[in-house]
Structure 1
Amino acid sequence: MNGTPDARPDRWLRWYRRVATPRLRLVCLPHAGGAPSLFRDWSAGLPADVEVVAVCYPGRQDRLAEPCVDDMGVLSTVIADVLLPYHGPRLALFGHSMGASVAYEVALRLQQRTDTGVAGLFVSGQLPPHRVVPSDVHRQGDDAILAAVRQLGDPGAEAVLADPDLRELVLPAIRADFRLIGGYQPRPVTPLRGPVAAYAGADDPDVPAAGLREWAAATADGPFHHRTLPGNHFYLIPGAAPLLADLSERLAELPAPG
């Protein structure tokens, strides 16, 4: 994309439950090709004092006409700008797949720019930065990209991709996300202050348990928690209940704001 993305919070953030005085805000970042609606119903499975906020990347839903962002540094920096007014002990991040890498990069930028960073980082369906495996699928054309999307097993993707009109609407965002993933190179982890928890589907071939445990390097002072749950790469769709139950326990352990 050209130019700097619009950093107004109302363009990027979707509140699915407003809480008058939240103990925590959980900001959720979608997977490649994903949208914030993935997290629409999460509030029902999390503590009542947790405010659920989802990030909408450009090029999808009501931002369909906006240029997509295909660079991790640009995307994570502008999201950190958007979240800066909300940073501190009341802000935690959750990301799935590509969104997990984005969440880590956003947390790192917030830590570099503030005294507190984020209250916690929760990652799902992804390896840590020093173990990511860059892909060149984005260089192989649309057929290869669509095959990769189908192979991941997103239960909502097949119906969209089977419709030629819908496919043309979502393809620009998917292409951009795969370019972003392909350009995200392995590098040493900079540890974050605060806890980290990592999740994956037990049948996800790209995120084995050993790789999941390596997210421990992302926290400087812990605690670290990891868990595999039944299912494939998209284990959290359609049944997010086991994940939300575990997340609720982890969020309850985070200290309340002073």
Structure 2
Amino acid sequence: MSAVSGQFDTWFRRYEPASPGAVKLLALPHAGGSAPYFLPLARALAPRVDVLCVQYPGRLDRHREPPLTDLRELAERVYRALVGEPVGPVVLFGHSMGAVLAYEIARRLERAGGGELLGVIASGRRAPHRFREETVHLRDDEGLIAEIRELSGTDKGILEDEELVRMVLPALRADYRAVETYRESPEVPPLAAPVTVLTGESDPRVGLDDARAWQELTSGAFRFRSFPGGHFYLNNRPGEVTAAVRESIEAFRGAAAPTSP
């Protein structure tokens, strides 16, 4: 096994078995998030979808590894771990920071031929070319925690446990630095793969127009779905979100299927 292919188990967590030939769904967490965030989704989609939940360095079983602060480097490492073994049909699904990672990984897959990429599902993030100056990663610890409280994506019990908070802050700050210092390259062509966007209607960080702007980044089909709720709308509407993800995967598969002569 090569060094690259040997990275598969380092980066990906498969919580449920999948049927032979199942489409892979690469699930990329938000800033400060970890692979188990997508465990309910993996259970809901199994066995027809093979959900691979990405585990970033610097958290949980990878807590001894330094977190990465460059989003393109993070995307490159996930991409190399993915293609180190036979991929098969794959859909990229990312929430918040994970949506930008999905975009960068999709670009790499398309540059390499793109035959295995069925589509991208971007959740809870404005289109990458809609830049906005943000400096959360430069705040002190209390300022960083305040941001997390506002977005309501972390269990309040964790935020009240000072020891736990101190453990997760380095990875959280690194993630925020990675996504806030990222700049989309304007000279690259749009994706050929279809894109679905999912977003919360009252997300304080993502306006509906900025979410719809993902359409400008693909020459393929575009689907848009908004849900009641804020940045972590998907926490409160798991059934609806799962259905939307499943529908998108089926639409991607249908578009990729060869047509009869």
**1:132 offset after TM fit, Å?**
3.2
- For residue 41 of structure 1, give the secondary structure of its aligned residue in structure 2: helix
Distance (whole Å) between structure 2 residues aligned to residue 82 and residue 194 of structure 1:
21
CA distance in 1, matches of 2:101, 2:83: 15
Q: Provide TM-score, normalisation by structure 2.
A: 0.89
The alpha-carbon deviation at position 8 of structure 1 amounts to 0.6
Distance 1:229 1:58, change over 3 A: same
Moved >3 Å (runs of 4+): 85-89
**Aligned equivalent of 1:82:** 81
SS where residue 233 of structure 2 aligns?
coil
Q: Name the CA distance, whole Å, in 1 between partners of 2:89 and 2:95.
A: 20
Q: CA deviation at 1:257?
A: 7.0
Q: Does 1:153 align with 2:189?
A: no
Q: Distance in 2 between matches of 1:117 and 1:192?
A: 14
Once the two structures are superposed, residues 142-166 of structure 1 have per-residue CA deviations (whole angstroms, 9 ceiling, x without a partner) of 222111111111142x321211110
Cα deviation 1:61-109 (Å, max 9, x = unaligned): 1001111101011101111101114676611100000110111111111
The equivalent residue for 1:180 is 178
State the one-letter code of the partner of 2:110: Q
Contact 2:126–2:211, Cα closer than 8 Å, also in 1? yes
**Mean alpha-carbon deviation: is it higher for 237-246 or for 64-73?**
237-246
One-letter code aligned to 1:252: E
The answer on 1:249 being equivalent to 2:238 is: no
Whole-angstrom CA distance in 1 between matches of 2:162 and 2:5:
30
Aligned AA for 2:216? A
Is residue 24–residue 88 contact of structure 2 (8 Å, CA) maintained in 1? no
Alignment partner, residue 230 of structure 1? 228
8 Å CA contact retained: 2:15, 2:43: no
Q: Aligned-pair RMSD on alpha carbons?
A: 2.2
In structure 2, list runs of 5 or more residues that go unmatched.
Answer: none
Q: Which residue of 2 aligns with 1:214?
A: 213
Deviation at 1:193, TM superposition (A): 1.7
**How far off its partner does 1:248 sit?**
1.1
CA distance 1:84–1:152, shift in 2 (3 Å): same
Q: Which deviates further from its counterpart, 197-206 or 18-27?
A: 18-27
Say whether 1:40 aligns with 2:39.
Answer: yes
Distance 1:68 1:47, change over 3 A: closer
Instruction: Work out whether residues 94 and 121 of structure 1, in 8 Å CA contact, stay in contact via their aligned partners in 2.
Output: yes
Deviates more, 1:184-193 or 1:235-244: 184-193
The answer for the alignment partner of 1:100 in structure 2 is 99
- Shift of residue 18 of structure 1? 2.0
- Residue 193 of structure 2 aligns to a residue in which SS? coil
* 1:232 match: secondary structure: coil
Residue by residue over 1:198-232, the C-alpha shift from the partner in whole angstroms, topping out at 9 and shown as x without a partner, is: 01111112212211111112212x21001101111
CA contact (8 A) 2:119 2:194 kept: yes
Please, what TM-score do these two structures have when normalized by structure 1? Answer: 0.90
- Percentage identity across aligned positions? 36
The gaps in structure 1 that reach 5 residues or longer are none
